[in-house]
Amino acid sequence: MKTIVFLAPDGLPRPMPRYALKIEYDGGPFAGWQRQAEHPSVQAAVEAALGKLEKGVPSIAAAGRTDAGVHALGQVAHCDMAKPWEPFRLMQAVNHHLKPAPVAVVACALVADDFHARFSALERRYLFRLVSRRAPLVHDRGHAWRVGHALDPVAMQAGADRLLGRHDFTTFRSVQCQADSPVKTLDELRVEAVPYQSGTEFRFHVRARSFLHNQVRSFVGTLERVGSGAWTPDDVTAALEARDRAACGPVCPPDGLYLASVGYEEDPFG
């Protein structure tokens, strides 16, 4: 395994081992993953915790830059430390200094210096939780999107199937998206219905190598219209083919969106 070499304060070269971190967080208190000057971010919280362990820890990189209010079950980031750490001990130390922020490192592994949390990733998986029930959410408030009417999961899956494959997803792309191209390949968009207290929870499982800004929330907001009967699956096809942001259904709130996992050629966490 290669190691990065840096110059220590005494001017002598030292190895700089790289670690992958699997991170879970509640996105509610944060303005997103990416560090910002005037707003709290998950990245800043993790970097501050690492800074308590070693001075001058370089900026960390993550697999996905989740937006404000978006959660993570399996975000992956990498960091370079000035000295070797036993991975479990590093995880425990970072978690100690993350308190009381709703962020936790759930796994840590020593990786090769050419591992990059973002550029080495082969796929990202997102989960969106949509609850259909009349009563407001209590325990899942801020962690799922509630609608007060019934939804048809068969119709939503039929609409979702129209989006699979490689397409120009301009319709489902935020006007603020900075991606070079709107063309992406959607590998999975599966709708799962499960019982929920006095209602039904619909879980949207979405998988692709990469995503456009607000793409998943645009998908779910559009499919909710299909499930309610306001749209048909043919309307989803028409919206996709329009390549026009104005043709998109409502963009749903971030509350129910989770970065579920990130896939690599070899799982760094075993």
Dihedral (CA of 15, 21, 26, 27) sign: positive
Q: In the structure encoding, which two tokens stand for residue 167, read together?
A: 């397409």
Q: Is the pLDDT of residue 263 over 60?
A: yes
Percent of the chain with pLDDT over 70: 94
Q: Is the pLDDT of residue 26 over 90?
A: yes
The CATH T-level fold of domain 122-261 is: Alpha-Beta Plaits (3.30.70)
Q: What is the DSSP string of 35-71?
A: --SSS--HHHHHHHHHHHHSTTPPPPEES----TT-E
Average pLDDT, the chain: 94
Q: Is the pLDDT of residue 4 over 90?
A: no
Q: In the structure encoding, which two tokens stand for residue 35, read together?
A: 């560090």
Give the number of other CB atoms < 10 A from CB of residue 192: 12
Distance in angstroms (rounded) separating the CA atoms of residues 246 and 239: 9
26, 67, 140, 168: which is the annotated catalytic residue? 67
Domains 4-119 and 122-261 share a fold: yes
Where does residue 72 rank: exposed (0-12), middle (13-18), buried (19+ CB within 10 A)? buried
Contact 78, 90 (CB under 8 A): no
Q: Is 114 a catalytic residue?
A: no
Give the number of other CB atoms < 10 A from CB of residue 270: 6
pTM: 0.92
Quick one: CATH architecture of 4-119? 2-Layer Sandwich (3.30)
Q: Is the pLDDT of residue 3 over 60?
A: no
- Per residue in 108-163, pLDDT (tens digit) is 999 999 999 999 999 999 999 999 999 999 999 999 999 999 999 999 999 999 99
> Residue 7: pLDDT band by 50, 70, 90 thresholds?
very low
8-state DSSP, 252: P
- Per residue in 165-222, pLDDT (tens digit) is 999 999 999 988 989 999 999 999 999 999 999 999 999 999 999 999 999 999 999 9
How many CA atoms does the CB half-sphere of 42 hold within 13 Å? 29
Give the residue extent of every domain in the chain.
4-119, 122-261
Q: Where are the beta strands (DSSP E) in 63-218?
A: 71-80, 103-111, 121-132, 145-147, 165-168, 183-196, 199-208
Q: Quote the pLDDT of residue 13.
A: 54
